Chains A and B, each alone.
Chain A
Amino acid sequence: LAKTTQPISMDSYEGQEVNITCSHNNIATNDYITWYQQFPSQGPRFIIQGYKTKVTNEVASLFIPADRKSSTLSLPRVSLSDTAVYYCLVGATSGTYKYIFGTGTRLKVLA
């Protein structure tokens, strides 16, 4: 099964671009990569999903290299309200679907 690791924490300033990387060395061929945002005492909230190359939506971009062993969530021009924990999720397919969250990255945006 894929095991996912992320940096424990990051600090950034308002207006900067933030890149958070997730390592998933054992990702399987059919696995998708999804990123979630979580505020204290709330459930995770979907940000973006991808399979390969680059995906962009109105809030973030997701970069996945050709070997798919890592992925990078890019948040453009962060604001104080982006302070949260960010998780990557890899859907593991080993006969049945299982869902493995990364260790989470605590992002703190400073004024």
Chain B
Amino acid sequence: DSGVTQTPKHLITATGQRVTLRCSPRSGDLSVYWYQQSLDQGLQFLIQYYNGEERAKGNILERFSAQQFPDLHSELNLSSLELGDSALYFCASSVDSGNRETQYFGPGTRLLVL
């Protein structure tokens, strides 16, 4: 158990809909990262927040957005969903920011768009 929690575990929805994925980092961690893992794309970095502010942005679509709240939990919002958005979405956290930080991953949210 990494200490990172994600809800829900599974999500089934329809195209065009909007969903929110939630992540609670390990106690004391200030950074939160979001990744998408699909069969044909591997693990893709989406976005990172550090202490409430956006720190880095990867291949995140404009239909996706995220935020980190004062209690440090984070939410990833996915809108106008398409079939291709079906994937595992992982959240990770680390104590600080920077490429030397060890990222601890949550169990993921499996999203299925029908």
A and B are partners in one complex rather than unrelated chains: yes
Instruction: Tell me the interface secondary structure of chain B in the complex.
Output: strand
User: How far apart sit A46 and B46, CA to CA, in the bound complex (Å)?
Assistant: 19
User: How far apart sit A90 and B108, CA to CA, in the bound complex (Å)?
Assistant: 21
Whether B99 pairs with A43 at a CB distance below 8 angstroms is no
Residues in chain B near residue A87, CB distance under 8 A: 43
Whether B56 pairs with A97 at a CB distance below 8 angstroms is yes
**Size of B's binding interface in residues, CB under 8 A:** 28
User: How far apart sit A29 and B29, CA to CA, in the bound complex (Å)?
Assistant: 26
Task: Say whether, besides A45-B2, A103-B42, A96 and B56 are in contact (CB < 8 Å).
Answer: yes
**Size of A's binding interface in residues, CB under 8 A:** 27
| Smallest Cβ-Cβ distance to B91: which chain A residue | A43
One of A18-26, A30-38, A59-67, A68-76 contacting the partner:
A30-38
User: How far apart sit A25 and B48, CA to CA, in the bound complex (Å)?
Assistant: 24
Residues in chain A near residue B99, CB distance under 8 A: 30-32, 90-93, 97, 99
Q: How far is the CB of A98 from chain B (nearest CB, A)?
A: 5
Is B64 interfacial (CB 8 A cutoff)?
Answer: no
Report which B residues bind A (CB closer than 8 A): 2, 4, 33, 35, 42-45, 48, 55-58, 88, 90, 92, 97-100, 102-108, 110
Smallest CB-CB A-B distances: 3 pairs: A91-B99, A43-B105, A101-B43
